A and B are shown apart, each in its own frame.
Chain A
Amino acid sequence: MLDCLLPRYKVLRDSEACVECGVCERSCANGVHHADEKNGRLSADHAKCVNCQRCVVMCPTLALAVTAWPQVGNGSNNWTLGVMQDIAKQAQTGAVLLSSMGNPQHYPIYWDHLLLNASQVTNPSIDPLREPMETRVFLGSRPDKLVVNEREHAVVTRMPPQLKLDIPVMFSAMSFGSISLNAQKSLAMAAVELGTYFNTGEGGLRKDLERYGDHAIVQVASGRFGVDMHYLNAGSMIEIKIGQGAKPGIGGHLPGEKINEEVSQTRMIPQGTDAISPAPHHDIYSIEDLRQLVFSLKEATRYTVPVAVKIAAVHNVAAIASGIARAGADVIVLDGFRGGTGAAPARIRDNVGIPIELALAAVDRRLRDEGIRSKVSLVAGGSIRSSADVVRAVALGADAVYSATAALVALGCHQCQDCASGRCNWGIATQRPDLVRRLNPEIGAERVVNLMRAWNREIEEMMGGMGINAIDSLRGNRLMLRAVGLNDKELEILGVRYAGS
């Protein structure tokens, strides 16, 4: 059957620069580049190219570039080439279209409409190079009041378990299975170095990563993969995954072909079968049921670690978050609709959920209005692209943020959105040993540490400019934000005033 599909990309080879060394052929797991049998000249099978840019980066003579397929659409904004290609694919296969990474569609990015304040004259700014700046954050529930024995210099109130972060950024959940061991190891080592945390995702904790347990958040999802007493007590916090920003209402589904021996052992499931983790936890139909799961985990860990609940940012997020706080969670994680994923149905990724900026501001306000904001910490994820986004998120009410995509980009990810294929040429979203070897965990960790150290320095500079020397004073401090290009309703939800007002 004629499939009517066009290639998405075209590989351009500068034949004058190309020395036919074959690096491109060896670096491509998709089999794009191949030498002609007769004359040995390299050519490309454009249709197989996913634009991961591995060959472009690896080519020693910079002879390669990838461009969009030059075919134009008919000029319609409605029936674009992309829309028609999706239809062609579905007409051919009858299948649900899968994609990866975050929502790429043209929805407003509110971060880009929020500008930061800086002090002039009346409230002096602080020079972070010469004065102490505090970016340390504690996550967890806080007691109603703190009793201090001043004579003994001791806190009398029994403190609930908390997580100490030296930087206000953690690495969001990515399971072993969806990402490679070397990718997870890079993040674990970086978390140790940075004094922050990585998250196992719902795929269990591999034996050789247990030594990073002091910097691990272990996740519990509906499929309960790899969850036992050992696992629950191996990490520093437990996160119940209810939803994920990239695919609200959709569960995890790791296809059987990715479940090799190692993934099977970590997830504690047979090799080769699909690992299905549906969106509903069938033991949770209410806030009371969620409370039951939260406290079962607290009982299992003797109340020594905080329990977080992660939800996707959706329509009634503020009311849901209020319920989660009342269910006994110590940390609420909000994941916005631009958050990444290893695989999601494309229609879900592109059409479900709401922006993290609006969700975060709404939840923070709701919890404050109800007087329970201090009972829980708020963590925001779902596309934090830079230190400026971190500062905006904290000013909108987050205690800390989760970042995954930025950390993966530091490891080499080029956002080709083909994670689901398992052929990641950067050794990140794959289990193929030859590809995994391409990512050196030591070098990977160093790059992630560099990135986060740079972000933290920038955060200090931005805070210093505002005249703020501790990130606690920035939390929920919307006066440090002004908006441009937003309507009244957006301003109201964000709780932010317009620039110039």
Chain B
Amino acid sequence: MNKIGTVCATGGPAEPAACSVTLGTEHFTEANALVREALERADTVEIREAFAQRYLGCGMPSGKTLLIHGVPGNDMACYMDGGAIEVFGNAQDQIGNTMNGGSIVVHGRCGDAAGYGMRGGTIFVRDGCGWRVGIHMKQFEGRCPIIVIGGDAGSFLGEYMAGGIIVLLGKPGSYLATGMHGGVIYMKHELACADVPRGLVQEPIDEADEAVVGRLLIEYNEHFSHDLGGSVDASATGFFCLRPASSRPYASMYAN
């Protein structure tokens, strides 16, 4: 194991081009302090030997990039505000919690509740994801959060979803999009009629949708075709979309 600490290579007269931080088994408070310090010195920081330290990239602003080797812990990129994170391996639970903007690329799978309350930015996951991914996603004015999952999703994908886009190349789990009242889920595989959740409408995608999904699949290939030894079909033909029938699913439930 390398020594814990920071190494910065000088990239030019002004700023070091990149810093490398080795975390080892450092506690998350010290680990994050090291990473933040490195980010002050360089715009791109490479993290080595991450051992499940939580909150890496917490609140990271735009213009900053983390390249993470090892396994980042829960709540990676929480409240992230425009930064970019690439994980060369799997990610744990709740990446992109309440993320405002930026991008996450995971060369592997991610755990539960990724993108909780996310309202901007993109999350690309090469493989599958855990439960409750995309829960409470919401879009607002120009911001539209996007999650692309290359494999299967756990149960409750898109629960309470109020906005944004989820693209699912694998199969969803049970209780898909319960309480969804905004946004759209694009699926490669059609749901059997009986499996379409109540209050949601499944339709084949139209040309406008195809353009949206196509662009995201091209980006998916840019990130992962090397890992996968080939590209996925980026034409988006044959995809289906799932949208809520109403933005106010509970409007008639209450009386004064």
Contact = CB atoms under 8 A, between A and B. Distances in A.
Contacts of A276: 160, 162, 179, 181, 250
B124 to A, nearest CB: 21
Contacts of B159: 282
Nearest to A291: B54
A292 B98 CA distance: 14
A273 B248 contact: yes
A274 B97 contact: no
Query: Which residue, of A90, A224, A253, has the highest number of chain B Cβ atoms within 10 A?
Result: A224
Contact of B55 (A229, A296, A345): A296
Interface string B238-256: 0000000001111111111
Interface in B138-171: 138-141, 156, 159-160, 162-163
Given A270-B139, A295-B55, A296-B55, A229 B255 contact: no
B136 interface: yes
Interface residues of A, number: 40
A232 B79 contact: yes
Given A227-B79, A229-B81, A273-B248, A282 B162 contact: no
Given A95-B254, A282-B116, 11 more contacts: A222-B136, A223-B160, A228-B98, A229-B79, A232-B79, A255-B251, A276-B179, A296-B55, A296-B75, A420-B254, A420-B256
A223 B117 CA distance: 7
A300 B135 contact: no
Contacts of A146: none
B55 A299 contact: yes
Interface in B55-100: 55, 58-59, 61, 74-75, 78-79, 81, 93-94, 97-98, 100
A375 interface: no
Contacts of B250: 253, 274, 276
Contact of B254 (A98, A227, A256, A292): A98
Contacts, number: 127
A269 interface: yes
A270 B163 contact: yes
Contacts of A282: 113, 116, 132, 135-136, 156, 159
B54 A98 contact: no
A274 B138 contact: no
Contacts of A256: 247-248, 251
A99 B160 CA distance: 24
Given A227-B98, A253-B250, A300 B117 contact: no
B79 A273 contact: no
A270 B162 CA distance: 8
B182 interface: yes
B32 to A, nearest CB: 6
Contacts of A268: 119, 138, 140
B147 to A, nearest CB: 15
**DSSP majority for the A interface?**
mixed
Given A228-B100, A253-B250, A269-B138, A97 B79 contact: no
Given A270-B182, A276-B181, A299-B32, A224 B117 contact: yes
A235 to B, nearest CB: 14
| A92, A264, A278 interface centre (most CB from chain B within 10 Å) | A278
Contacts of A265: 141
B85 to A, nearest CB: 15
A89 B162 contact: no
Contact of A96 (B58, B249, B254): B254
A488 B81 CA distance: 56
B113 A283 contact: yes
Interface string B111-147: 0010011010000000000001001101111000000
Contacts of B98: 224, 227-228
